[in-house]
Structure 1
Amino acid sequence: MKIIITGSLGNIGKPLTAQLVKSGHDVTVISSNADRKEAIENLGAKAAIGSVSDADFLSKTFTNADALFAMTPPNMGGVNIIQNTTEAGNAFVKAIQIANIKRVVMLSSIGADLPTGNGPIAGLYNIEKIYEKLDASITFLRAGYFYFNFFNDIPMIKGAGIMGANFPASNRIPLVHPEDIAWAAAEELQKSQEGQKIRYIISDVKTPSEIVKAFGNAISKPELPWVEFTDEQYFGGMTQAGVPEEMAGLYTEMGTGLRNETIAADFLKNDGKVQGKIKLGDFAKEFASKF
């Protein structure tokens, strides 16, 4: 199969590319960074350098492809983030239609069933709705809360001796490792399917109290506490750390959605299956290696 991978050689793109090349597929990896060309080719794939917001570039790259892994960049600028994300989705759809790709796996997220109240995930809600109109076989691969997000807490642990966010220690959070996303995406891309479906990819479901216990034990800080911040405290902490206000506002809203459990609700009520292999205990060792 000729398969196109977007997302460059990131935490998902690199293991996904390696798996597909190993399976004998003709893989092209799209990257906006020309410096990635050699690394892509070293994996046995072809490199296509350009912007995922450029529908003409995408349509040329998609020509004669059998399948596409569509991943919208997570940070579409410091302002107009939802609009920029949605416009990138429109560029993808235009290119898919021109190239007549019939198999698409779109990376989405828990909470993408909600039009609002989910922070940056609202852009993925919009893209799912755009993709639903395509005449193609589509898997909406809804991923959990990335384990890797917790790397951002390392300065807080070192500076204040705490972890925290604007949601409580008791809430259940569906978590995911990028390598599990890559595994699920590879499986879907190689699978024949009629119509459209939603698949959740979750590695583990844990509460923040369980998360801080696992991390604390891994870094020899067994008393590490989870502190629930107010929305104002959470927003203020991010902006003081240099996060643009619009982005900070969206992440605060996402935290609110995790607090009231609306973001996790569709998975917990209608699916609830943990398919990923990398559990919290496994990731805690990886976390400790970065600490």
Structure 2
Amino acid sequence: MTASSLFPYVIFGVTGRTGAAAADALLRSGHPVRVVVRAPVKGRPWAERGAEVAVADLTDLASMTKALSQVQGAYVVSPQQYNRDDLFERADLIADTTARAAVAADVPRLVALSSVGADRESGTGWIRMNRMFEQRLGETGVSTIFLRAAYFMENWMPMIGQAMRSGTLPTFLAPPQRPLPMVATVDVGSSAAALLQEKRTGTCIVTLSGPKDYAPNDVAAILSTTLQKPVDVAVLPETKWPEALADAHFSRTALAGFAEMTRGLNCSHIDIKSDPSAVEWAGTTTLERVIVELAQRQR
């Protein structure tokens, strides 16, 4: 056992899907893990599995530096708070604090969750927050892999619930027959864990999609087979988006960001292949598997 192997990998976002998957993958492989949470109670399940628990506020430099000290590497995320009108300013503060803490703690390598489209300067809505994250971390000189994930398969959960009740799958994505790259969050987390263990230096961009692309029509067909009943697709016009998203309690700024992002996806301005410098990775989890799991949770 080397001295470096005694230091843990630090994982942020373990109360979310990708962070939990990253921590789980590392723990299952026998690696030491430190999870970072906002409240001690959130860390208890991980402590029971043998992980260290660090409590930190993502906007507090001292607690972030302590959480990132004496580590092999860290998976960092910037949670986006869609109920806030200042969500872009908040995201920039988190990005700046994370960057400064990584430098202060002398972190040897980072894997940072980002998104396809982060290479675009404008017209990406919410994804601009990921671009801020990349820019702040990129200025530090810390070896960083930016993991640009495709559209999360789990984003379909609320629409699947509606389809199960009504037989119609609403979608913001159009046209419904056009396939888009999608990825399961478990593959994002497991890829982050694998990338943390690589010994490369410098900055690298990795795009991550699933084993194939899927269209909204494919989602409906898979769900129809799962439920054993017909499921139609209904493309929501942009005028209906605020009403459809009312239960999400988005701020006006967040709603505008969602609309711009969705328009960017629908016109292919946001494209997983738009950055020729990126290394392409693909997960193994199929949309069929994710939809079956999501449908079971809705029953």
* Same-fold status (TM-score > 0.5): yes
Would the aligned equivalents of 2:206 and 2:279 in 1 still touch at CA under 8 Å? no
State the SS of the aligned residue for 1:134. coil
- 1:264 corresponds to 2:257: no
Aligned counterpart for 1:231 among listed residues 209, 214, 238:
238
The residue aligned with 1:205 is 213
State the SS of the aligned residue for 2:264. helix
Matches within 5 A, 1:15-30: 15-30=21-36
Would the aligned equivalents of 1:17 and 1:43 in 2 still touch at CA under 8 Å? no
The residue aligned with 1:126 is 132
- 1:4 corresponds to 2:10: yes
Would the aligned equivalents of 2:112 and 2:146 in 1 still touch at CA under 8 Å? yes
CA distance in 2 between counterparts of 1:242 and 1:27 reads: 34
CA distance in 1 between counterparts of 2:18 and 2:134 reads: 20
Deviation at 1:262, TM superposition (A): 1.3
Matches within 5 A, 1:36-51: 36-51=42-57
Deviation at 1:236, TM superposition (A): 3.1
- Is the deviation greater in 196-205 or in 161-170? 161-170
Would the aligned equivalents of 1:81 and 1:120 in 2 still touch at CA under 8 Å? no
The residue aligned with 1:283 is 290
Deviation at 1:256, TM superposition (A): 0.6
CA distance in 1 between counterparts of 2:150 and 2:193 reads: 17
- Letter of the 1:59 partner, please give it: T
Would the aligned equivalents of 2:142 and 2:202 in 1 still touch at CA under 8 Å? yes
CA distance in 2 between counterparts of 1:95 and 1:75 reads: 21
Q: Give CA-to-partner distance per residue, 1:19-51, whole Å, 9 cap, x none.
A: 212333321101113221211201210111221
Deviation at 1:56, TM superposition (A): 1.3
CA distance in 1 between counterparts of 2:161 and 2:31 reads: 41
- Letter of the 1:151 partner, please give it: M
Would the aligned equivalents of 2:78 and 2:95 in 1 still touch at CA under 8 Å? yes
**Structure 2: gaps spanning 5 or more residues:** none
The residue aligned with 2:155 is 149
Shift in alpha-carbon separation, 1:166–1:18, aligned structure 2, 3 A: closer
Shift in alpha-carbon separation, 1:35–1:241, aligned structure 2, 3 A: closer
Deviation at 1:216, TM superposition (A): 2.2
Aligned counterpart for 2:67 among listed residues 61, 66, 69:
61
The residue aligned with 2:88 is 82
Identity %: 21
TM-score, reference length from structure 1: 0.91
Aligned counterpart for 2:193 among listed residues 167, 186, 196:
186
CA distance in 2 between counterparts of 1:85 and 1:62 reads: 19
Q: Give CA-to-partner distance per residue, 1:196-248, whole Å, 9 cap, x none.
A: 111111113111111221122212233x2222222221123213664333222
CA RMSD of aligned residues (A): 2.2
Aligned length: 290
Would the aligned equivalents of 2:205 and 2:277 in 1 still touch at CA under 8 Å? no
Deviation at 1:254, TM superposition (A): 1.5
Would the aligned equivalents of 2:82 and 2:254 in 1 still touch at CA under 8 Å? no
Shift in alpha-carbon separation, 1:241–1:86, aligned structure 2, 3 A: closer
Would the aligned equivalents of 1:235 and 1:249 in 2 still touch at CA under 8 Å? no
CA distance in 2 between counterparts of 1:133 and 1:241 reads: 34
**Structure 1: gaps spanning 5 or more residues:** none
Shift in alpha-carbon separation, 1:197–1:268, aligned structure 2, 3 A: closer
Shift in alpha-carbon separation, 1:23–1:247, aligned structure 2, 3 A: same
- Letter of the 2:78 partner, please give it: T
- Letter of the 2:205 partner, please give it: I
Would the aligned equivalents of 1:145 and 1:176 in 2 still touch at CA under 8 Å? yes
Shift in alpha-carbon separation, 1:265–1:22, aligned structure 2, 3 A: closer
- Letter of the 2:245 partner, please give it: M
The residue aligned with 1:107 is 113
- Is the deviation greater in 69-78 or in 128-137? 69-78
Shift in alpha-carbon separation, 1:251–1:146, aligned structure 2, 3 A: same
Deviation at 1:166, TM superposition (A): 4.9
- Is the deviation greater in 226-235 or in 53-62? 226-235
